[in-house]
Amino acid sequence: MIDKKARMILDKDYRIGDVDNRIYGSFIEHLGRAVYGGIYQPDHPDADDMGFRKDVIELVKELKVPIVRYPGGNFVSGYNWEDGIGSKEKRPRRLELAWQSIETNEVGVNEFVQWTKRVNADVMMAVNLGTRGADEARNLVEYCNHPGGTYWSDLRKAHGYAEPHKIKVWCLGNEMDGPWQIGHKTAQEYGRIACETAKVMKMVDPSIELVVCGSSSSKMPTFGEWEATVLDHTYEYVDYVSLHTYYGNQEDDIGNFLAKSLDMDEFITSVVSICDYIKAKKRSKKTINLSFDEWNVWFHSHDADKKIQPWTVAPPLLEDVYTFEDALLVGCMLITLLKHADRIKIACLAQLVNVIAPIMTDNNGGAWRQTIYYPFLHASNYGRGCSLKAIVSSPVYNSKDFSEVPLLEAAAVLNEDHGELTIFAVNRDQQDSLLLECEMRGFEGYKVIEHIILENQDLKAMNTKENPFNVVPHNDGKAAVEDGVVKAILPKLSWNVIRLANRKGTAL
């Protein structure tokens, strides 16, 4: 007998908004082994004709990542993009100051564009507004996107790329509010350079979309004021404002850790309010949406990173080995993104390979899926369509930093083209299973076709090179529809994916 019960109502007409597929984006920075030893390793036995690791390509393709942010991150604020084009033999080796490494520039914009094509993704390109500015940014747009007949576009052609790359999403720098950032600026300073850079970039290619830097964390002392000031300068020239957040379980407090997605929710709500305040202030008809272009769990590797010697090529930095409990919070964070699908149009799990990533590689061997790979895989594959507003009634608990934390964290996505409805649910209860009863309105004929569960008795269980399948999901869940109500037992501390389809639908 299950003592604890959560109720949910799903109505086909209670809609938050269409899910932009780009919320399942990711991030590759020239940091650690993300590029060299991650996506690119020409001496690896599984390398393709351009030196990209085919085993990594296949794992990325499984995730159906639609867009990948590049080349940073802190890296971009000291990066000269011209170093990464032309003959590889003539490309300079540079001191990379952000991560205290040597950058060989073997991979640059052209190679990365080719890699994204091989994983069926688009590029989200960042420009350097730390040590550089509007001139270099407009030249990069011209090099990438102009058809030909000009200096930079013809140089691209001379480098072997006759057709423009047509990169449509561009970031105006990275975390410019952070004192750690090369070329750190005040909100006024950044707002001005971002505004002028946005203008010239859109003069070169009016079709591009621009992301302006918001706060690098809601805990920054300038949070709120930063967004308001920057948007005051840039509102009519940009399309998105960025958000970044990372969470850790340094205190080893699972209840508090799993509640941290509530902080993410509050962060999103606050930034939306600031955007709409500036819209009202300017009497604008334009709505600025959000790009949550860095989010993840990040804390495991902090001590190890302090021991790594500087000035080496591709040092093993930020190589968090994720646990089962980390996967649960990643699931809660994905649910939070879906709850704000009306305003979050881009999101990037940071990062994709080796560096705080769902995919890990061995330089001399294979690649494997970390625990956090699975909730991202499920959301990306089954969470496309329209995000529904779930009405949830759940038992709650209190933790060190949060009160009234619901045991049930849930979201639902309707894909009408495929006649499929997917419920994503996390049970935060540490002791007991939770009975979910979900009343469905307007979903006549829908039946459960699969109930996937990610669970493990060991919160610290992880997937490693030696044991890559230690934490994997199963599809032995027993969810079923009875008289228009989905009934499912959600095991304690579990990630659940309940897939339903109507009789006429074609399952994804």
Catalytic positions are: 175, 294
Task: Determine how many CB atoms are found less than 10 A away from the CB of residue 16.
Answer: 19
Query: For the residues of 380-413, what is the DSSP string, one character each?
Result: HHH--SEEE--EEE--EE--SS-SSEESEEEEEE
**DSSP annotation of 22:** G
Separation between Cα atoms, residue 110 and residue 412, nearest integer Å: 38
Task: Tell me the C-alpha to C-alpha distance, in Å, between residue 462 and each of 252, 373, 429, 495.
Answer: 16, 11, 20, 15
Residue linked to tokens 């509050």:
266
Contact 23, 453 (CB under 8 A): no
User: Could you tell me the end-to-end alpha-carbon distance of the chain, in angstroms, rounded to an integer?
Assistant: 34
Return the axis-axis angle of helices 134-145 and 187-204, rounded to nearest 10°: 30
Cβ-Cβ contacts under 8 Å for 319 (sequence gap 6 or more): 32, 33, 301, 304, 354, 355, 356, 360
Contact 507, 449 (CB under 8 A): yes
Which residues are paired to 102 by β-bridges? 95, 313
User: How far is it between the farthest Cα atoms of the chain?
Assistant: 74
Q: What is the dihedral of CA 228, 230, 235, 236, to 10 degrees?
A: 150
Separation between Cα atoms, residue 449 and residue 500, nearest integer Å: 5
Residue linked to tokens 């009306």:
342
What count of residues does the chain have? 508
For the chain, the C-alpha Rg in angstroms (whole number) is 23
Separation between Cα atoms, residue 26 and residue 353, nearest integer Å: 10
Query: For the residues of 131-198, what is the DSSP string, one character each?
Result: S--HHHHHHHHHHHH--SSSHHHHHHHHTT--S-----EEEE-S-TT-TTSTT---HHHHHHHHHHHH
